[in-house]
Amino acid sequence: MTFQRQTPIALISIHGDPDIAIGQEEAGGQNVYVRQVGKALADLGWPVDMFTRRSHPDQPLIVHHSPNCRTIRLIAGPEEFVPRDQGFPYLVEFVEKFQQFQAETGIQYELIHTNYWLSGWVGLELKKRQLLRQVHTYHSLGIIKYQAVSDIPKIAQTRLNVDKLCLETAERVVATSPQEQQFLRELVSPIGKIDIIPCGTNIDQLGRISKAEAREKLGLNPQEKIVFYIGRFDPRKGIETLVRAIADSKFRHSPELKLIIGGGSRPGCSDGLERDRIEKIVYELGLNPITQFTGRILDEDLPLYYRAADVCVIPSHYEPFGLVAIESMASYTPVIAANVGGLKFTVIPEVTGLLCPPKDDLAFTEAIDRILSDPDWAKQLGEAGRKQVETQFSWQGVALKLSDLYTQLLSQPAKN
């Protein structure tokens, strides 16, 4: 129903600025998700405003991405980077600024889509103050995260409560994989409505050039066997497992083996400390001559790295969805992933890649060796991956599903 597409939608992503450079401190999948979903929904005709917190005084308050799609930065708390575990105290101010924005512009949002628990709390609070429908995407679940870390932050109990309240009271929760839906049901609450709508990827930008061309553009040797990691430097990402697996590979002493580790970090911050730790292990294992740390990989170079690689490894201890898996598959590159979370949904073992138990260095070594030993099979895996992404994981397809959901919710009266 087109008339409903005139209704402005607010995507709220307080700590995941959709307009920020991806690949450094805490900027990753959520930022990509909000930006791509926002743009694709706007292409379908929805006026989309993506609200985030301003984290630097130089950042423009409003960025226009397309005639229908904007990033709007509200000033709530200090105009500097605030780690997500320390963001809670600024949420009341965020709610007030959101309402002030509505009053000043005359826009009254009837549907908000909140991302991550901080925005989820803002959504719950807004619902007490005005009539609207809330759709919520978790991106990460407190209950799973705290099982995996030893230093549980003070905010943990608040987060667990908000995770539960969002599921029980939002009009709809969007789980990005059946695995996430199952965790929500079993570990968070039996109450509340969940739809499964996956994340997507930009199928038009990835997989456009050949492997030979990608390597030439990046100055990489056409003969090398390239193993690729990309993502944030965070112990949860399991980069150590990959490094140790490479050290035991049967190609370890071949001059052709190369490990490329991509992702940004800032010295002294949590990701910088993790990168230092990984570099130290690389050095101790004598892998420095074959390892390249690229730093943050820009959007325009991502398709080249993904395509140049022979295999992309995602050794995460936990991954709610894992955009990297579908980006790699869209680039015809097979994936070896840990058998966790959304990766179990996106990677089909022996068809588009291989799955290994998390933290199991030996299993990763065997999987890497299998794929590097058989380029014809690797090519088949890559082709199957591309096909799977084309049919299931395009941003346009994701936006169509969200659009149907919004239309359905807007046709029902809002309750608070």
Interface residues with ligand UDP (CB under 6 A)?
A: 22-23, 28-30, 32, 230-232, 262-264, 296-297, 302, 321-324, 327
- Quick check: 50 and 72 in contact, CB under 8 A? yes
Strand boundaries in 231-351, DSSP class E = 257-262, 291-295, 311-314, 335-338
Q: Return the bridge partners of 312, or none.
A: 228, 335
Least distance from C-beta 131 to ligand UDP, angstroms?
32
Least distance from C-beta 296 to ligand UDP, angstroms?
4
Least distance from C-beta 297 to ligand UDP, angstroms?
4
Q: Which is nearer to ligand UDP, 92 or 298 (CB)?
A: 298
Close Cβ partners of 232 (under 8 Å, ≥ 6 residues apart)? 23, 24, 26, 27, 28, 263, 271
Between CA 18 and CA 139 the distance in angstroms is 14
- Quick check: 14 and 30 in contact, CB under 8 A? no
Q: Which is nearer to ligand UDP, 171 or 234 (CB)?
A: 234
Q: Which is nearer to ligand UDP, 327 or 366 (CB)?
A: 327
Collapse the DSSP code of 189 into the 3-class scheme (helix H, G, I; strand E, B; otherwise coil) and give the result: coil
Least distance from C-beta 32 to ligand UDP, angstroms?
4
Least distance from C-beta 325 to ligand UDP, angstroms?
7
Q: Which is nearer to ligand UDP, 31 or 365 (CB)?
A: 31
Strand boundaries in 200-305, DSSP class E = 225-230, 257-262, 291-295
Between CA 337 and CA 350 the distance in angstroms is 12
Q: Which is nearer to ligand UDP, 132 or 261 (CB)?
A: 261
Q: How many CB atoms lie within 10 A of CB 174?
A: 24
Between CA 173 and CA 96 the distance in angstroms is 24
Q: Return the bridge partners of 335, or none.
A: 312, 353
Q: Return the bridge partners of 213, or none.
A: none
Q: Which is nearer to ligand UDP, 126 or 259 (CB)?
A: 259
Least distance from C-beta 320 to ligand UDP, angstroms?
7
Q: Which is nearer to ligand UDP, 47 or 341 (CB)?
A: 341
Least distance from C-beta 298 to ligand UDP, angstroms?
7
